[in-house]
Structure 1
Amino acid sequence: MDPETDAHLRIGFIGAGNMAFGIAKGIISGNVLPANIKVSAPSKRNFGRFQEIGIAGTNSNVELVCGSDIVFVAVKPHLVREVLNGISPYITDRHIVVSVAAGVTLETLQELLPENTSVIRLMPNLPCIVQEGALLFTRGSCAKPADGALLRSLLQHCGLVEEGPEAWLDIHTGLSGSGVAFVYLFAEALAEGAIKMGMPSSLAHTIASQTVLGAGRVLRDSGKHPAQLRSEVCTPGGTTIYGLHTLEQGGVRASTMSAVESATERARQLGQKSTTRK
């Protein structure tokens, strides 16, 4: 996309939570000026960090929509219907509406907005805050390829951005959205193991976080399968294979797979609730 096109876009975020903040930070790392972005929320409680990076806040969703070309709906799934009902009369054919609400389907979004509205579902994750996110989006029936290309251009500084079918979005929520918490739990357990063996707590947690960061970067940048990298760390009769044996005895692989499955199913349940709630 033309950088000049990005620079002149007016972008609004309905909702002032972590996802909105992370995406906004990524966008202003590109060509969009903070002055061209606005955030809305019922209270001013979360406006401070947006204002620190030059983004203004408002308590009016309607004001935000009327002054935006792209509207990110970044509220909890159970609030989407109320929010869209409130802004629908002000959505025009110039708008692109991007929902980041977990489980809320394109069908539901399109029913709540004017006919022919360009709608995109986007699933980001928390590391967007440090521009290391994993984002997956899918376009609604009226969203053109150019709309998807524009969104990808805007989000390129947020991390990895991919497009796929809607059926993958709930899986992405379980894998990458909830998966962040699974990694945190593993990092906590790594540190606690070191603490148990006598290392000071602060040092153990610092080393655990660096271990997770370093392993992730090698995994991403090497292009190798995780199993290959794992085998490269193991030496016959060494420390790693003994530790891996203990993890396998504890069922860490099966438990992790089940955790992704459970989170995915919950995302689907949230989508069903959003569809049936009138």
Structure 2
Amino acid sequence: MADPWQEAMDHAVEVARKAGKIIRDALQNEVKIMCKSSSVDLVTKTDQRVEKLIIESVKGRFPKHSFIGEESVAAGQPCILTDNPTWIVDPVDGTTNFVHGFPFVAVSIGFAVNKELEFGVVYSCLEDKMYTGRKGKGAFCDGEKLSVSDQTDIRKTIIISELGSHRDPETVSKVFSTMQKILCIPVHGIRGSGTAATNMCLVASGAVEAFFEIGIHCWDVAAGAVIVQEAGGVLLDVDGGPFDLMSRRMVSANNKTIADRIIKEIEIFPAERDDVPAKK
């Protein structure tokens, strides 16, 4: 039986490469920074240009499909996942990295149908690595099959998390406390690339055993979620329940043993959601 979404996935790979070229070219020129809600919530002209490229390209090929894009949501469009085929786009995952020239920036494109993720494409454009995952068909990097680490001993793992300055002080304190607890297990180390999509691909490739973060958005993790699962990994909520794309919190790991051990150290946060507007 033919894959009904292969054409869409092929298009996602094609447009991600085009977007990556825009990002690389922009890094050769002056990075013009604007502000969203604060001086540390950075967005560049490149974010907006890349998202426009992706959406216009997809609309030209698939006019009936829907979109959730980071810049579109920031501009006031609703963040609602329906049953309609939906592209979930982070045009420049790692904007702060991009602004500072830190060499991990990704174009992240997830695709969902009937609220279920079908494929994910993550192009780490400065590394020139193309990660892909298709539901039921495996995960790959530049055509090479990916597989998560087989490590089950938490003491022999590398864990990824992130501390972004955009978070409120209480959240930062709780995440930092969780990191301290994990380091005291002890583990081999805690790392972070500054982009959730790339972090999840590192889990899928077996380079690290787990990635957890609180405060992320659906466009940060939609593509990576497919890639991790298709590489043999697991996704959970930080409370140990099922992964919810809209919940803004997640643990991705090579297996449930490692995920559960990390969850044991996480102080539960009040759940925020992408599909529920924040209170003003």
Q: Flag whether TM exceeds 0.5 (same fold).
A: no
The structure having more radius of gyration, on CA atoms, is: 1
Relative to its length, the structure with more strand (as a share) is 2
Relative to its length, the structure with more helix (as a share) is 1
- What is the TM-score with the length of structure 1 in the denominator? 0.29
- What is the TM-score with the length of structure 2 in the denominator? 0.29
